[in-house]
Amino acid sequence: MALTLALLLGPWVGLASVSATIDRRLAILFSLLAMADYLKRVTFLAPDQSPWSQYLISILPTLYYGAAILVPALPRIIATPLSRVERLALIYLALALAMTWLSPGPTLLGRLAASGLLVLPWTMILVAARWGWEALPGVSRTMVFWGVLSALYGLWLFSFGPTPVELRWAESATFSIGARHLIEAMGGEGVSGVWRVTGLQPDAFTFGLFLLTALIGLEALAARGEMSRLAHAGFFGLLLLGIGLSLVRTIWVALVVFIVMRWIAEHSTLLRHPRLISLGLVGMFLLAPATAAVLYQRFGSLAGVMPNPLLARMLTFGTLEARKDALAMFLDVLPERLVTGLGYGISPWVTGKFGSMLELPPNFAEHNALVEQLWYVGLPGLLLFVVLLYEAFARLARRYAEGNQLERQVLAILAAGLLALFTTGLGNGSVFLSYPFFFLLGVIVAKEQHDLEAVSDGSAPTARARRRP
């Protein structure tokens, strides 16, 4: 079934990409990313499917990105001078790959999976830094379309329960987190036996995260004047409803961060001060475990006294126990990882599916992205990541100071979006370090913004604006 779905989808994607520009191919990539996980579920509608067959579908976006976007783009990227952010990204990539392949523990298949699914997305920074501004409208429209569709599907699941697609998937793909949660909820297990809906995504967190990225794209389109007020209000409300239905508190916090940081960026000079933003990121990392500890201590048992199961699920703070020791774990691991990390092959997502000979401590990263970075790439890699973020915001500060009103509005939205996605990493780990995050990161350091200049003065994009670098 997975092979059949891949063969049905492949020709359409291929035909759409034959003469397409890179910005168009980026929109196709984000469509594949949006639908791949749902197609994994559809696989199990057919009887007697191997649980592993779903991965034939899930690797399609990675294969497409490599063949249709990265390989054609590399010659043009290499042929022109690299910015400081791009050089840092390349150094990080080299370091991450070296540690992934030279460290002991993961199987060969695990190393391959980690390289393709966890390390390769970092190259999106290089692609978006060259074509990001031109691709931003198309990618944003794509994200909004699939985000609205996913929110509608999530609303259906919330109202009427799992469809046969979810039920067959849960019965067959038991090693999937989302499938396991559904099985537990159907058996009255888990937190109050409540199933958190997944939309088109594999679990509640990625559902909420996807809708958050769609919301960022929606705001970018609205700022550019590419959407009516009525459509913007309707889509915003629907995406907001979907985020609420996900019942993921980390996403709720990130949504608040996005709204607040956008307002601050538009009404202050914050974006002119990259050092202040970087200090803020460090402060968020230091504050997150302490906040989790306080909430766990005061409200950890609150859900148990709630008569309504849904309300009990919303007010479940007991899971914060797995987040409150992130700083302690960081300090404990730091002496071992001053020079090298263990590579991305030790990721629980990889080892749980592709095996490992290395045993890690329980809750090894405390659901914290920076602690995970210390494990994966050591202190050198973590510092590279932090410096890369600083340089990206420094570039954004220069563009913000030189830009017109439209550019500043869009940059404020993208900066707030990046900060919101980073916030999710402080409560749920490195899941946010995927193609949407790296695309936004590349866009804010992109060299070309002819299309924005054309929109700002009311003219259509010129031939020079449409021409690729």
DSSP string, 373-442: HHHHHHHHHHHHHHHHHHHHHHHHHHHHHH--HHHHHHHHHHHHHHHHHHHHHHHHGGGG-SHHHHHHHH
Can you give the pLDDT at residue 180?
A: 81
**Nearby residues of 9 by Cβ (< 8 Å), 6 or more positions away:** 39, 60
Radius of gyration of the chain (CA): 22
pLDDT at 355: 76
**48/349 Cα distance (integer angstroms):** 25
DSSP string covering 149-210: HHHHHHHHHHHH---HHHHHHHHH-TTSHHHHHHHHHHTT-TTTTPPPP-TTSSSHHHHHHH
Q: What is residue 303's predicted lDDT score, i.e. its pLDDT?
A: 58
The pLDDT value recorded for residue 457 is 41
- In the three-class reduction of DSSP (H, G, I as helix; E, B as strand; rest coil), residue 35 is classed as helix
d(CA 370, CA 428): 11
Look at residue 217 in the predicted model and tell me its pLDDT: 96
pLDDT at 376: 94
What is residue 148's predicted lDDT score, i.e. its pLDDT? 97
Count CA within 13 A, CB hemisphere, residue 293: 11
> What pLDDT shows up at residue 436?
96
Overall size of the chain counted in residues: 469
Q: What is the pLDDT of residue 447?
A: 64
Regions of the chain where pLDDT drops below 50:
448-469
Sign of CA dihedral 167, 172, 173, 179: positive
What is the pLDDT, as a whole number, of residue 95? 97
